[in-house]
């Protein structure tokens, strides 16, 4: 079983946000989930007009250390976004932590959205696929998944599913309702899309977090507002028929 958490992080309050992670992990693990996906920059809160620089940490810093402890305590893998510092650079990063509390890998957002992200962050350079709970998981962050080439690159690299911490805001409601379904269907892999909800002025998030199966159909979807913890059985997310398995692996690289 996979789980997804939609919630509202408090900007600048890392301690409270980690508390939300701990609570969601405990509930998801007790329901039988093996992977929990949470939103973009959830540890710091998604607010780009100040304070993010002071919240950024290296991957061996206290926030990732606590995330590793939470994963090990509840025996559940975590995928979550945070601001990463390396030397004098900041990255919009997603970390993947396995159920033993080990850092399975990290991904730095390649497609930065808008002038604020571009001003604050250095873009990543490489797609990333990690091993979690026996699955090959492709990592993307928010705007990344709006590009068909990004999902295709992850599947070509061996991803059998794609997990997307996001901070999608109004008016871009077509991203969770249309594009996420399209990315799943066109690549034949499930997509888990974990968004913020509510308002952090001047942004209002769209919610609509979702777990979408390989055929582009919803298996679970949150509302536009409010905290939710969603679940989906793994068997309903992946292709069961041989023809579907063949279809999902025939990826033609057209260079026109």
Among candidate residues 66, 76, 69, the one with its CA nearest the CA of residue 2: 76
- Catalytic annotation, pick one of 57, 84, 109, 197: 109
Quick check: is 86 catalytic? no
- Catalytic annotation, pick one of 57, 84, 117, 142: 142
Quick check: is 117 catalytic? no
> In terms of residues, how long is the chain?
256
Measured distance CA(159)–CA(186) in Å, rounded: 14
Quick check: is 126 catalytic? no
Instruction: Give me the DSSP letters along 128-183.
Output: EEEEETTEEEEE--GGGGGSHHHHHHHHHTT-SEEEEE---BTT-THIIIIIHHHH
Among candidate residues 45, 50, 36, the one with its CA nearest the CA of residue 63: 45
Kindly list the distances between the CA atom of residue 98 and the CA atoms of 92, 95, 144, 150, in Å, as whole numbers in the listed order. 20, 10, 23, 24
Residues taking part in catalysis: 40, 109, 142
């Amino acid at each position: 079983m996979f789980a997804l958490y939609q919630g509202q992080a408090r900007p600048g309050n890392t301690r409270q946000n980690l508390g939300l992670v701990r609570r969601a992990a405990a509930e998801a693990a007790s329901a039988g989930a093996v992977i929990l996906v949470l939103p973009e920059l959830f540890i710091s809160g998604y607010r780009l007009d100040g304070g993010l620089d002071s919240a950024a940490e290296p991957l061996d810093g206290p926030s990732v250390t606590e995330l590793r402890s939470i994963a090990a305590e509840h025996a559940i893998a975590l995928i979550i976004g945070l601001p990463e510092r390396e030397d004098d650079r900041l990255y919009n990063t997603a970390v993947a932590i396995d159920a033993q509390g080990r850092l399975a890998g990290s991904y730095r957002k390649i497609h930065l959205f808008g002038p604020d992200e571009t001003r604050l962050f250095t873009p990543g350079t490489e797609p990333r696929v990690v091993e979690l709970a026996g699955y090959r998981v492709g990592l993307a962050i928010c705007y990344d998944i709006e590009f068909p080439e990004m999902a295709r690159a992850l599947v070509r690299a061996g991803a059998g599913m794609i997990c997307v911490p996001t901070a999608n805001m109004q008016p871009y409601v077509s991203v969770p309702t249309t594009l996420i379904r399209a990315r799943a269907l066109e690549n034949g892999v499930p997509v888990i899309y974990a968004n913020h909800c509510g308002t952090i002025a001047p942004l209002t998030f769209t919610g609509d977090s979702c777990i979408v199966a390989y055929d582009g159909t919803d298996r679970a979807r949150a509302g536009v507002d409010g905290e939710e913890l969603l679940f989906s059985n793994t068997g309903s997310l992946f292709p069961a028929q041989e023809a579907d398995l063949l279809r999902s692996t025939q990826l033609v690289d057209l260079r026109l």
